[in-house]
Amino acid sequence: MSDPYHPPVKRSVEIAGHKTSISLEPIFWDMLKDAAAASDMSINALVAKIDAERIRSETPPGLASAIRVWLVKARLP
């Protein structure tokens, strides 16, 4: 993706058999794809994992927010 400031775009994902759509900036979709490939998981599986984590949070954010936070956190030293 050439322009990192591209507005969010929607994609369909399936979490535990439920279809939903998530809006993320393309740069986060790219990061999500890389992160899933790096741990040999599908994007759906990784999103399901992030979803499970966020629900356990004391103040659960929306799923798109949770994915962005997870991706950034994964890159922190």
Partner 1 sequence: MELVRPTLAMLPEYRDALKRGFSPHNINTERVRQQQLEQIEEDPEGLIAVMHDPDGKGPPIEMPDGTLKPRLPGITRWMWEDGTFIGAINLRWAKGTSALPEGVPGHIGYTVAEWHRGKGYATRALIQICKEARDIGLEYVELTTDQDNIASQRTIEKVGGRVVGTFDAGDMHHPCHETLLWRIDL
Burial of 45 (0-12, 13-18, 19+ CB in 10 A): middle
Does 33 interact with partner 1 (rule: CB under 8 A)?
no
Q: Which is nearer to partner 1, 24 or 71 (CB)?
A: 24
Does 23 interact with partner 1 (rule: CB under 8 A)?
yes
| Least distance (Å) between residue 28 CB and partner 1 | 11
Does 24 interact with partner 1 (rule: CB under 8 A)?
yes
Give the Å distances, CA to CA, from 2 to 5, 24, 29: 9, 16, 13
Does 1 interact with partner 1 (rule: CB under 8 A)?
yes
Nearest to residue 11, comparing CAs of 1, 3, 26, 2? 26
Contact set with partner 1 (CB under 8 A): 1, 3, 6-10, 21, 23-24, 26
